[in-house]
Amino acid sequence: MPEYLRNSLGRGFLGVVVCGSEEYVTKKVLELVEDCSGVIVVGDFICSRLLKYGYTPRVCVVDGLSRRTQAEAIPITFFSKIVKCSNPRSHICADPAEKIASAVMESAEGERILISVEGEEDLLALTSLATSSPGWCVVYGLPGCGAEVVHVDKETAETARKILELFEEVEIPSETSHTTQTTTQKTRHLPYQPPAESK
């Protein structure tokens, strides 16, 4: 993925950006999601913080890392179902994308689902936005800042889908391990596109 798009996603651009101390960010996020019909959280830091404040999102997507270093383990006892998948950095695999869509539907029946990603979960925030129903919220961590809270509506979902359309489908070798399920071979990544020159 080109750095200019990674930088845009890293700054937040679709919702409310919350920066500050861990306590401030957590409390503000809880305020912002109060009226959401469902919440997906992408990122170990913000998922962990919300759990510590007694709030269990319907779906949490984590990779065990925070700012590329080992993150505090997420207590699985808060969740009724654990799903494992793989997703390489700068890619969006079909498998985790499908698991997020399934988790959204299952959570409507009372499930609280933790999706544990081997690789990187950052870009799965886009999939979460594209597959969530209007009225849901997607919360994802912003390194060095805090978090962004996006209220899903037709406009934000369509924006996420348009970004996903920029990704081209490629094939990568399948990987297996004792901790993950088999990765789908088909994945999507964003080919290099230089930023437009300023006039």
Strands (E), 59-112: 59-62, 65-66, 69-70, 81-87, 91-93
Question: Is 56:78 a contact under the CB 8 Å cutoff?
Answer: yes
Asked if residue 97 is part of any domain, the answer here is: yes
Asked if residue 11 is part of any domain, the answer here is: no
Asked if residue 113 is part of any domain, the answer here is: yes
Q: Is the dihedral of CA 47, 53, 54, 58 positive or negative?
A: negative
pLDDT exceeds 60 at position 192: no
Encode pLDDT of 175-187 as tens digits.
544 443 433 334 4
Neighbours of 17 (CB within 10 A): 15
Domain residues for the domain of 62 are 16-188
- Across 8-12, 106-110, 140-144, 147-151, the highest mean pLDDT is recorded for 147-151
The 91-93 sheet, strands edge to edge: 91-93, 186-189, 168-171
Instruction: Give the per-residue pLDDT at 24.
Output: 97
**Sorting pLDDT into bands at 50, 70 and 90, what band is 16?**
very high
Asked if residue 164 is part of any domain, the answer here is: yes
Instruction: Give the per-residue pLDDT at 179.
Output: 40
Asked if residue 1 is part of any domain, the answer here is: no
Encode pLDDT of 31-89 as tens digits.
999 999 999 999 999 999 999 999 999 999 998 876 656 667 888 999 999 999 999 88
Asked if residue 175 is part of any domain, the answer here is: yes
Encode pLDDT of 127-153 as tens digits.
999 989 899 999 998 888 999 999 999
Instruction: Give the per-residue pLDDT at 70.
Output: 61
Asked if residue 194 is part of any domain, the answer here is: no
77: left (phi over 0), alpha (psi -120 to 50) or beta: alpha
Question: How many CA atoms within 13 Å lie on the side-chain side of 167?
Answer: 23
Instruction: Give the per-residue pLDDT at 91.
Output: 84
Cα gap 105→109, rounded to integer Å: 8
Asked if residue 98 is part of any domain, the answer here is: yes
How many domains does the chain divide into? 1
